């Protein structure tokens, strides 16, 4: 407990506290005495430990108001007001001693009175460096309330330490520590400057344009829900998500993605990975232990399935998406697929493959888990509808705002088949939904049309940026072949066989350019060399110098492997 005593509470029980407990009808508050009264009371304090505090604090019941009391009250009021920050108080303004543990202890060693013991504890904390020079100690009223004693006890302790030079008091400012063990004066706290990232240019996939996050609109949504949320919204959250957001998400998916979604089938989660873990646990509870994933593919999806205890089978992807014939030769009864935009190849599951995949799920009595991670960004035509609408009884739909707004929000959704919704929630009894106010803010953000407006602006911005990246690569990296340009926030740059893409990624990172190798998303290395270039989290003006640096990196000769040491 901050500023708490380690001995029994009885040793600091004040007379007024005891009287209040014994006489609940009495509400009179003792006033602060003047110094003359306190001095006289100190002389008459009882030596017995059991009544020491009572005898010491009887002086607080004086019948006169004095200038000292008025000055104390004025100081308390001044402490509560905000004062302009100066270089001398820059550090102290953000460094308070409120959470320092004080070992006041029982009466011993000649320190029988409570204010003496409090002064001793504060003095020890200052000498040991736990209270640094310039730290502000709490106002006497606040500290007295925490200790359960009179304000007189605290003001006496503070006055003693001020006289000794350990504390200093100044009109218009809080009482502060004025002594340090090494005698060096306090240094003003420098305002923390934003850390410069070690990477100058970010061409790695996985992030949207974080600079374009709609801060003002999101803040408006947060303020709106913070002011309008009813009291029961602030209680324990529904593990399935707040009904308002579930309704909003279901409506959004029906109108924009062609999904067959209903509020009762929607679960709010922390993102696609969280949604997949929940789905895999539900599948395992239903007896499905084999899951197929795309190859190459996002490693976190594979890891999520392994975490849930499933066996994972990698199924190759070609220009038409997942090869369903290869899937049928495995023992899997469930598969994770990026139907609208596969990561990292950028291919779209062809209409024939979609129909084939749904038939496969029915034949094996299994399920398709559709990862709809960035399908809102399609540039050749309108976004393709989700597979879930073709067979909502066999297809799970996973989505989030990580690629559209920011992964920092930690907001996503999972649409489960109606027959599996109860099993899904039963298989994840300790799953927790994101913070309720964040859920309500997202619902407001969508309902007011701000999400659609943000997506329209983002599509235009990303299309322009993609075109610039393609043109610049064509002129500076002519040996590369570009693919996967129709949608999403990344492209593939295929390079000639023998290109050391691993070395290029390392060299680029050393030069301040972040890249990703296609092999990073394979379970086994391939002879086909390619880089995965993201253009979400980079500005248009940064693309030319970034590509120039990439071209220079690719022109460097590959390092020969070093000979083993003798």
Average pLDDT rounded to a whole number, residues 416-433: 92
Which pair of structure tokens corresponds to residue 289?
């232990």
Which tops the pLDDT comparison, 46 or 218? 218
**pLDDT at residue 57, rounded to an integer:** 33
Per-range mean pLDDT, top range of 109-113, 371-375, 405-409, 555-559: 405-409
φ, ψ of residue 396 to 5 degrees: the values are -85, 145
Helices 450-476 and 215-228: angle between axes, nearest 10 degrees: 160
pLDDT of residue 460: 95
> Of 263-277, 283-297, 338-352, 374-388, which range is least confident?
374-388
CA 542, 548, 549, 554 dihedral sign is positive
Contact 126, 179 (CB under 8 A): yes
Residue 106 in contact with residue 143, Cβ under 8 Å? no
What is the C-alpha separation between 535 and 465, in angstroms, rounded? 7
Any residues with CB less than 8 A from the CB of 82 and at least 6 apart, and which?
none
User: 345, 494 in Cβ contact below 8 A?
Assistant: no
Helix (H) or strand (E) holding 160: helix 151-164
Per-residue confidence (pLDDT) for residue 559, from 0 to 100: 52
Q: How confident is the model at residue 194 (pLDDT cuts 50, 70, 90)?
A: low
Q: Model confidence at 523, in pLDDT bands (50, 70, 90)? A: confident
pLDDT of residue 46: 37
CB 252 within 8 A of CB 393: no
Average pLDDT for residues 145-168, to the nearest whole number? Answer: 91
The mean-pLDDT minimum among 35-39, 323-327, 426-430 falls in 35-39
* C-beta separation of 192 from 202 below 8 A: no
| For residues 356-375, average pLDDT | 95
Task: Considering only residues 341 and 91, tell me which one the structure prediction assigns the higher pLDDT.
Answer: 341
Half-sphere exposure of 187 (CA within 13 A, CB side): 4
Q: Report the pLDDT value the prediction gives residue 188, as an integer from 0 to 100.
A: 52
Contact 373, 178 (CB under 8 A): no
* Average predicted confidence (pLDDT) for the chain: 82
E strands present in 338-447: 367-371, 395-400, 412-415
Q: How many CB atoms lie within 10 A of CB 110?
A: 6
Question: What percent of the chain has pLDDT above 70?
Answer: 77
Taking the C-alpha atoms of residue 293 and residue 308, their distance in angstroms, rounded to an integer, is: 14
Q: State residue 121 phi and psi, 5-degree precision.
A: -65, -40
pLDDT of 472 above 50: yes
Please write the tens of the pLDDT for every residue from 445-454.
Answer: 999 999 999 9
pLDDT band at 18 (very low <50, low <70, confident <90, very high): very low
* Strand-strand pairing, 290-295 and 311-318: parallel
**3-state per-residue secondary structure call for 2-44:** CCCCCCCHHHHCCHHHHHHHHCCCCCCCCCCCCHHHHHHHHHC
Residue 83 pLDDT level (bands cut at 50, 70, 90): very low
Mean pLDDT, rounded, for 20-36:
41
Structural contact between residues 136 and 97, judged by C-beta atoms closer than 8 angstroms: yes
Question: Please, which pLDDT band fits residue 187 given cuts at 50, 70 and 90?
Answer: low
- Whether 323 and 292 have beta carbons less than 8 Å apart is answered as no
Q: Quote the pLDDT of residue 192.
A: 55
Closest C-alpha to 77, from 137, 140, 136: 140
Give the model's pLDDT for residue 75: 42
- Residue 415, phi then psi, degrees to nearest 5: -105, 115
The DSSP symbol for 93 reads G
Q: Exposed, middle or buried, 248 (CB in 10 Å: 0-12/13-18/19+)?
A: buried
Percent of the chain with pLDDT over 90: 61
Cis peptide before 102 (omega within 30 of 0): no
Return phi, psi of residue 136, to 5°.
Answer: -90, 130
Instruction: Report the alpha-carbon distance of residue 533 to residue 550 in Å, rounded.
Output: 11
Phi/psi zone of residue 26: left (φ > 0), alpha (ψ -120 to 50 degrees), beta? beta
């Amino acid at each position: 407990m901050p500023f708490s005593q380690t001995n029994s509470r009885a040793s600091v029980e004040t007379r007024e506290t005891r009287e209040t407990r014994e006489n609940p009808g009495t509400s009179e508050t003792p006033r602060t005495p003047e110094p003359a009264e306190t001095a006289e009371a100190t002389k008459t304090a009882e030596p017995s430990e059991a009544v020491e505090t009572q005898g010491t604090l009887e002086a607080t019941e004086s019948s006169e108001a004095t200038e000292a009391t008025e000055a104390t009250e004025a100081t308390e009021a001044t402490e509560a007001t905000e004062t302009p920050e100066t270089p001398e108080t820059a550090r102290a303004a953000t460094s308070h001693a409120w959470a320092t543990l004080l070992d006041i202890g029982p009466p011993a060693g000649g320190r029988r009175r409570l204010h003496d013991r409090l002064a001793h504890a504060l003095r020890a904390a200052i000498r040991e460096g736990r209270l640094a020079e310039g730290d502000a100690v709490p106002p006497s009223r606040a500290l007295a309330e925490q200790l359960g004693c009179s304000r007189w006890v605290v003001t006496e302790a503070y006055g003693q330490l001020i006289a000794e030079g350990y504390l200093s008091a100044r009109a218009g400012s809080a009482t502060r520590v004025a002594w340090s063990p090494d005698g060096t004066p306090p240094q003003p706290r420098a305002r923390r400057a934003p850390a410069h990232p070690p990477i100058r240019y970010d061409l790695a996939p996985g992030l949207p344009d974080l600079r374009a996050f709609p801060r003002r609109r999101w803040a408006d949504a947060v303020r709106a829900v913070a002011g309008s949320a009813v009291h029961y919204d602030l209680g324990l959250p529904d593990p399935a998500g707040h009904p308002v957001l579930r309704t909003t998400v279901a409506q959004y998916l029906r109108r924009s993605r062609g999904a067959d979604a209903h509020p009762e089938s929607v679960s709010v989660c922390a993102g696609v990975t969280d949604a997949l873990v929940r789905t895999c646990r539900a599948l395992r509870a239903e007896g499905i232990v084999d899951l197929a994933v795309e190859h190459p593919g996002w490693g976190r999806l594979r890891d999520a399935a392994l975490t849930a205890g499933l066996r994972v089978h990698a199924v190759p992807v070609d220009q038409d998406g997942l090869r369903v014939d290869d899937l049928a030769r495995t023992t899997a009864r469930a598969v994770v697929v990026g139907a609208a935009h596969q990561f990292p190849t950028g291919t779209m599951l062809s209409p024939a493959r979609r129909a084939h995949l749904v038939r496969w799920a029915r034949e094996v009595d299994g399920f398709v888990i559709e990862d709809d991670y960035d399908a809102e960004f399609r540039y050749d035509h309108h976004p393709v509808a989700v597979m879930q609408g073709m067979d909502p009884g066999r297809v799970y739909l996973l989505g989030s705002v990580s690629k559209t707004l920011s992964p920092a929000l930690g907001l996503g959704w999972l649409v489960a088949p109606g027959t599996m919704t109860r099993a899904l929630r039963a298989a994840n009894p300790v799953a927790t939904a994101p913070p309720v106010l964040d859920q309500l803010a997202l619902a407001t953000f969508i309902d007011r049309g701000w999400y659609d407006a943000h997506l329209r602006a983002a599509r235009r911005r990303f299309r322009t940026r993609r075109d610039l990246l393609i043109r610049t690569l064509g002129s500076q990296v002519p040996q590369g072949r570009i693919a996967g340009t129709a949608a999403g926030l990344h492209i593939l740059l295929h390079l000639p066989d023998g290109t050391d893409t691993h070395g290029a990624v390392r060299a680029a990172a050393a030069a301040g350019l972040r890249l990703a190798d296609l092999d990073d998303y394979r379970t086994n290395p391939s002879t086909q060399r390619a880089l995965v270039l993201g253009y979400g989290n980079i500005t248009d003006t940064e693309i030319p110098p970034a590509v120039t640096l990439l071209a220079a990196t690719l022109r460097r000769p590959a390092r020969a492997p070093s000979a083993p040491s003798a």
